Chains A and B, each alone.
Chain A
């Protein structure tokens, strides 16, 4: 034998020894769990998803709001109960034609670096949101904006090319950003070192790990109770739950339904649900002329055949609110005096027979695999099951989310039904109504002239009550015609240590930590 293998074995052995030592040392190091560092209080939040970038005007997905909604303000904000409250603006006026909004700005507001917010900053923020160069994926929200003008040091005027009845209800869309800072450092720098007027200020961001915020001591509102918030990205749901149980984090979002009972039984953990605002329903392709479901009686039968209440309870663990198109976070929800079609298979069969399909028919039913929204597969299969019981045979196609997106809208020519979902975060139904029901809209498989007239009227109507008086009858019409079969508005489940007091925000699935405080403080 030569000496080499001996040398190798020595190398191998010493390597192993080193590794074992390191291994033992690592195993013996206790994890540092204390949320307190030098007397400062830190809140640790485990997130199911994470922002990918931090500029409110370069949004790439709704997930970026986990960051922006803690760091930036809108003209009007929403409080935890979903009520519209003044933000950077304290009052506003609308011109009679609904095209000009004049906002009075709050005095004494500063950015987190101490610079005062000026009317120029506010006007700049609106222009920047709509800037095609930055291309936020939400820029269409302000597509109607024609100008943003400074009237005087505390007044800003916004002009639109058409009435925008839902503008204030959505807070004005644009986050208020610092004009001078951005012009001095550039857009790319701002995206990495953002400053805003919100309750927290930016500290650091590590993609795929999370981000850290600190209290903004220049905040105009009530200062936050925690000095620091660490948002940790933990994609796997069971790991997220385990991280809470083991004390590695204090709050988690998106608790899997199957873990809710266990966590509720844990004496050191509180589970809270909040209406998140995601709407789930079923589209029926009425552009598909001459098909059985072109007949209103058949569509009504399809609705009568489904027991939505049982599906909500068994498939979704009861985490949702049944509705008929007006979402529980929208004003006017309490005034809706009609309900979903009751579960009545006999009535469904009767209607099918009357329409000339006593033996039923078959159709396609497209939907996304689980992941984007809880148990969408099971929801679809359950509906298909109820349909089968009355003779309607649904060929279910469960596809991955990106593939499902392709199946939506007027040009996909789906032969039958499509699962529908609309992300929360909007407090006025106009945008969703246009997208889902207007002729030729991106997601619409409906083209009904009478309905289009009602949508046009909604767009031009100003004032909360006046708008309710338009969209409530509109959804009554949708129900009567069974143009869509409404399901539920989802509830988001959060869990937190009993050491934390926090109220999730109604209508927002983002962890807005403004009102979080150590329990008992």
Chain B
């Protein structure tokens, strides 16, 4: 995550009027959409080419001893004996009509494989996000207000640890402690409400650390502003200061990072989902890749690409909402 590029100080000066704002905004929006579509096309093209170069699903599906004729029949049935460029054009053409093809293994369309697994992934990402923001932002404010104290150093140290610990380690350790030793929470699946706790913590900890650091940096920035110093000098309480001045002025960078965080929580949950047997897109993608179930791999890659692009665009829009200066209009 790029901290410096996004953490623009939000100086509370009155907005500058930009001429032709609306037309410019429209052009920017159009540009965004075109670039977004191009990125999605690029992503699914790469996934298509890489997966098709990586193995023959027909041969993989055939058990040892299957005669070559049968392997060829499976290949034909799966539509894999057409030239690659033709398969690609068919695939892209189908995507534009909303048809993602049929899974080689599950007797279902890719669309229904995705719709039946996307829910748990989004749910997990949202809970992890809530955990990261809900813990990261308050802690960031605390650290900023108590900068250079023991608490601050401890929190900064912990955040570095949080950023360094990989989920494939944190997950199993969380399972060992909370499920095996203490019997507090289930180790896997999503059968009960409490099942989400361990995967969400495992998934969200990295983003928590990032959001904590961004909030702390932005809050420190805000605290050094003259008007904040004045408010402090006038005897405003820390709590009120945080709510009325520091938090609003720290929101922009937190939002940018938060939006990207949500995108990476959706796309980055593969390992966590596999560790916790969470029945989302990540586990589905894992088994689809190992079976070379191309249509499913491509479909899920498409979902990830779209969610990334859409979230990025949304952040840009939210910017304008949250920062009056970017709206160009002072109400």
Contact = CB atoms under 8 A, between A and B. Distances in A.
Interface of A: 1-2, 4-6, 8-9, 12, 15-16, 19-20, 22-23, 25-27, 29-32, 46, 52-53, 55, 58, 60-62, 132, 135, 137-140, 143, 188, 191-192, 206-209, 232-236, 238-240, 242-243, 245-248, 371, 400-403, 405-406, 421-423, 431-432, 434-435, 441-443
B61 A246 contact: no
Given A235-B286, A443-B64, A6 B244 contact: yes
B283 A235 contact: yes
B66 A442 contact: yes
A233 B191 CA distance: 12
Nearest to B172: A238
Contact of A29 (B55, B172, B192): B192
A434 B113 CA distance: 38
Contacts of B277: 232-236, 239, 243
B63 interface: yes
A31 B283 contact: no
A249 B331 CA distance: 60
B183 interface: yes
The 5 closest A-B pairs by CB, nearest first: A402-B55, A5-B248, A435-B65, A19-B130, A52-B105
B134 A20 contact: yes
A137 B61 contact: yes
A246 B197 contact: no
Contacts of A245: 179-180, 187
Counting chain A CB atoms within 10 Å of each CB, the highest count among B64, B137, B292 belongs to B64
A143 B248 contact: no
B188 A232 contact: yes
Interface in B131-186: 131, 133-134, 137-138, 172, 175-176, 179-180, 183, 185-186
A162 to B, nearest CB: 14
A209 B67 CA distance: 33
Contacts of A23: 127, 130-131, 134, 197
A27 B189 contact: no
B47 interface: no
A251 to B, nearest CB: 14
A432 B66 CA distance: 11
Dominant SS at the B interface?
A: helix
B12 interface: yes
A9 B248 contact: yes
A62 B63 contact: yes
Contact of A442 (B68, B130, B244): B68
Contacts of B283: 208, 235
Interface stretch (B22-30, B69-77, B205-213): B69-77
A474 to B, nearest CB: 17
Nearest to A15: B130
B65 A432 contact: yes
Contacts of A27: 185, 194, 197
B116 interface: yes
Contacts of A8: 248, 251, 321-322
24 contacts: A5-B248, A5-B322, A20-B134, A22-B130, A25-B193, A31-B195, A61-B291, A135-B73, A137-B61, A139-B70, A140-B65, A140-B66, A209-B279, A235-B277, A235-B287, A236-B188, A236-B276, A238-B172, A238-B175, A239-B187, A243-B186, A243-B277, A402-B54, A402-B56
A234 B287 contact: no
Given A16-B137, A209-B279, A435-B64, 15 more contacts: A1-B248, A19-B134, A26-B197, A29-B192, A29-B193, A61-B61, A137-B70, A143-B67, A233-B277, A234-B188, A234-B189, A236-B188, A236-B274, A239-B277, A245-B179
B214 interface: no
Contacts of A243: 179, 186-189, 277
Interface string B302-330: 00000000000000000001101000001
Contact of A31 (B192, B247, B279, B284): B192
B77 A135 contact: yes
B216 to A, nearest CB: 17
Contacts of B73: 132, 135
A4 B105 CA distance: 51
Q: Size band of the B side of the interface? A: 35 or more
Contacts of B130: 15-16, 19, 22-23
Interface string B221-234: 00000000000000
B35 interface: no
B112 to A, nearest CB: 10
Contacts of A208: 117, 279-280, 283-284, 287
B104 interface: yes
B275 interface: yes
Given A31-B195, A234-B188, A239 B287 contact: no
Interface of B: 12, 54-56, 59-68, 70, 73-74, 77, 103-108, 113, 116-117, 127, 130-131, 133-134, 137-138, 172, 175-176, 179-180, 183, 185-197, 243-244, 247-249, 251, 274-277, 279-280, 283-284, 286-287, 290-292, 321-322, 324, 330-331
A198 B105 CA distance: 24
A426 B136 CA distance: 57
Contact of A406 (B12, B59, B194, B197): B59
B56 A406 contact: yes
Contacts of B54: 400, 402-403
A89 B108 CA distance: 34
Contacts of B67: 140, 143, 442
A137 B283 CA distance: 24
A25 to B, nearest CB: 8
B60 A402 contact: yes
Contacts of A191: 107
A140 B71 CA distance: 10
Contacts of B186: 31, 243, 246, 248
A23 B132 CA distance: 12
A441 B68 CA distance: 9
A58 B180 contact: no
A405 B244 CA distance: 64
Contacts of B324: 2, 4
B203 to A, nearest CB: 14
